[in-house]
Structure 1
Amino acid sequence: MSKLMHYQVFIAIVELGSIAKAALHLNITPAAVSKQLANFEQSLGVTLFNRSHKKLEITASGESFYPACKQIILDILEAETKLHQDSQEIQGKLAISLPKVLARGPVIPIIADFIKQHPKLTLDLSFSDDLVNLHQDKIDFAFRLGELSNSSSIIATPLIKTQLLACVTPSYLDQFGKPESLSNLAHHRLILMSPLNGSRALKQFFKKQNIKPDSLPLHRSDDIEGVYQSVMANLGIGLLLDLSIQTEISAGELLPIFSELKSQLPQKTLYLVFKKDQQSSLKQIAFKAYIRSRLEN
């Protein structure tokens, strides 16, 4: 395998945290990943990971080496994209599926930037919180939140981490004051999605906090936009994804509260999902490279 594969293997192990997960992501065997890593370390004369039968831990040398490796791969992706762009014009329809929560936040503006660069492209956006059938529904790409893995026909590329925040408006605090704690809301109201059974991580969070959501004073909505609009209307405290409210937080229109719970509130990974058999389309190559350059950690 090429030296480039060494970089890809190293980056995959760092980002996914294990040789087995890196192998699944790269669609090769764990033994091949281990061999590539050993050959890479031998060629560099540096140990990148400390290994034991229980865990794999990156070394200080590996941590300092990772950003440069990542940039090398991104530079190659950008160079390949530019090469294709220079030789061919990107056109046609780009069908993209997003969860409803991403109707707000940076993802759609980033997609729009890509479309503006390629005016002969048309965009077909659809919103669903389910894992769509990319082949059956004729979807080029899906953005999804959660824990995903590759399959025989699908590749799920991790992009960035995002997490829930407990938020209110400044005027809400002026009217009602700051609640004492999430378990003691008194005259406050928590605004939740209904039903909660779609979010296992949120149910586990409440369980760890010894909180029974149904025993709290609640407002409910069956749509995330309803939660957002209810918070903005000063109806209570909303649990909203930080990725979807970056603009409001930066502008001071929403204020995170319960900062002591921030590290305990559920985190999710945003994935870019696409079909394994769509490797050669120019628009798809360009879109993957662009999204990774804008959204990958």
Structure 2
Amino acid sequence: MAIRFEDLSLFVRTAACGSFTKAAREANLLPGQVSAAIMRLERDLDVRLFARSTRSLRLTDEGERYLPYAREVIDLLHSGRDELHRGTDTLAGTLQITAPSDFGRNVLLPWLTAFRRRHPKLELRVQFSDQVTDVFRDPVDIALRYGTVQDASFVALPVAPDNRRVLVAAPGYLEQCGTPQTLDELPRHSCLLWHMGGRLYDKWGFPLDKGRRTVQVKGPLASDDADVVRRWAIAGEGIAYKSWLDVSADVQAGRLAVVLPGQPGETAPLQLICPHRRQFSPAVRQLHALLAERCGEIATLPPLGTRG
């Protein structure tokens, strides 16, 4: 079995677009050519990757499982190409980046600084905010975002696909107010809340072995800046429900403790967003590889993924 790179690339593109026609338009091909490539890949793999109907196109369970591997193969090939040219090509120009406030200031910033030092001809323009940037209208080359990207008009590369949220609080708060032993106890605690666009996010979701549990929480402190929420947690003001990427260093240093470590939090995958594939410059590809490696190291630290 020899899987063609072009077929793999069209599979990933079709999964993102949700349509043979849209994928064909992006690749400057005919819809029939894209359909033929997918059928050829399905024949090579001996599985059905898409469930087709006259009105919809969606990934099968097998397609969902295969998609991250296909993306990884494509990323590795791009990285290999960049490696061959490393030392002959100098990264230059301006790279404009936007990222969530907490992750950007406290995790991403030193990585970006070191990246720029290795490439002195590269200029970085960074914006750290929890407001969702319009990558088509705003002066941005790439955006780092938490969550699953549903908009097929974007091109998304996974940075930390296994990242989850965790409940955290300062040891001092837990000593004073007690440590919750079950989700049922959360509403009796001071919870640190995030709000955006007039909406208060006071319903925290948790995956269970069967289904999902939503807990209504409350607290006197709320902010539209996730970094502020983390700082409140460190100051002992209550319990926060945060991305593991944002708080892992605080947990390792003892500034925060994980609450209910046996209860998995909801997924919070980190994605690198580009408005167009042509913006996947060598600088973007090298930065993506760096971020995926660094975030992968954080994701392997406890307690992410533990169930107790």
> TM-score with structure 2 length normalisation?
0.70
Q: 1:256 aligns with which of 258, 266, 277?
A: 258
SS at match of 1:36: helix
After superposition, give the CA deviation of every residue in 1:11-69 in whole Å (9 maximum; x if it has no partner): 668xx6x9937986784688655532321243x4x41447767971329xx86x975x5
Partner of 1:276: 276
Partner of 1:128: 129
Question: 1:72 offset after TM fit, Å?
Answer: 4.0
Q: Matches of residues 192-271 of structure 1 in structure 2 within 5 Å?
A: 192-194=193-195, 198=199, 203=203, 205=205, 209=213, 211-213=215-217, 216-259=218-261, 261-262=263-264, 265-271=265-271
Question: 1:9 offset after TM fit, Å?
Answer: 4.3
Matched, 1:58 2:62: yes
Please give the alpha-carbon distance, in whole angstroms, between the structure 1 residues aligned to 2:204 and 2:37: 38
Question: 1:119 offset after TM fit, Å?
Answer: 1.9
Partner of 1:47: 46
The question of whether the paired residues in 1 share the 8 Å contact of 2:18 and 2:152 is answered with: no
Please give the alpha-carbon distance, in whole angstroms, between the structure 2 residues aligned to 1:175 and 1:40: 59
| CA 150–291 in structure 1, closer or farther in 2 if over 3 Å, else same | farther
SS at match of 2:140: coil
Question: 1:70 offset after TM fit, Å?
Answer: 5.4
The question of whether the paired residues in 2 share the 8 Å contact of 1:20 and 1:30 is answered with: no
Question: 1:116 offset after TM fit, Å?
Answer: 2.8
After superposition, give the CA deviation of every residue in 1:195-239 in whole Å (9 maximum; x if it has no partner): 695477x64739x756543xx454333422221111111121111
| CA 106–185 in structure 1, closer or farther in 2 if over 3 Å, else same | closer
The question of whether the paired residues in 2 share the 8 Å contact of 1:97 and 1:125 is answered with: yes
Question: 1:143 offset after TM fit, Å?
Answer: 1.0
| CA 185–194 in structure 1, closer or farther in 2 if over 3 Å, else same | same
Partner of 2:55: none
| CA 196–245 in structure 1, closer or farther in 2 if over 3 Å, else same | farther
The total of aligned residue pairs comes to 280
Letter in 2 for 1:271: Q
Q: 2:18 aligns with which of 14, 17, 20?
A: 20
The question of whether the paired residues in 1 share the 8 Å contact of 2:203 and 2:215 is answered with: no
Q: Matches of residues 132-211 of structure 1 in structure 2 within 5 Å?
A: 132-134=133-135, 136-150=137-151, 154-161=154-161, 162-185=163-186, 188-194=189-195, 198=199, 203=203, 205=205, 209=213, 211=215
The question of whether the paired residues in 2 share the 8 Å contact of 1:197 and 1:203 is answered with: no
SS at match of 1:107: helix
Range 125-134 or range 70-79, more displaced: 70-79
Q: Over the residues paired in the alignment, what is the CA RMSD in angstroms?
A: 4.1
Please give the alpha-carbon distance, in whole angstroms, between the structure 1 residues aligned to 2:148 and 2:112: 23
| CA 193–280 in structure 1, closer or farther in 2 if over 3 Å, else same | closer
| CA 236–203 in structure 1, closer or farther in 2 if over 3 Å, else same | closer
Partner of 2:74: 73
Please give the alpha-carbon distance, in whole angstroms, between the structure 2 residues aligned to 1:4 and 1:197: 46
Letter in 2 for 1:256: V
| CA 137–3 in structure 1, closer or farther in 2 if over 3 Å, else same | same
The question of whether the paired residues in 2 share the 8 Å contact of 1:278 and 1:284 is answered with: no
Please give the alpha-carbon distance, in whole angstroms, between the structure 1 residues aligned to 2:88 and 2:286: 13
| CA 33–158 in structure 1, closer or farther in 2 if over 3 Å, else same | farther
The question of whether the paired residues in 2 share the 8 Å contact of 1:9 and 1:22 is answered with: no
Please give the alpha-carbon distance, in whole angstroms, between the structure 2 residues aligned to 1:34 and 1:99: 37
| CA 150–6 in structure 1, closer or farther in 2 if over 3 Å, else same | same
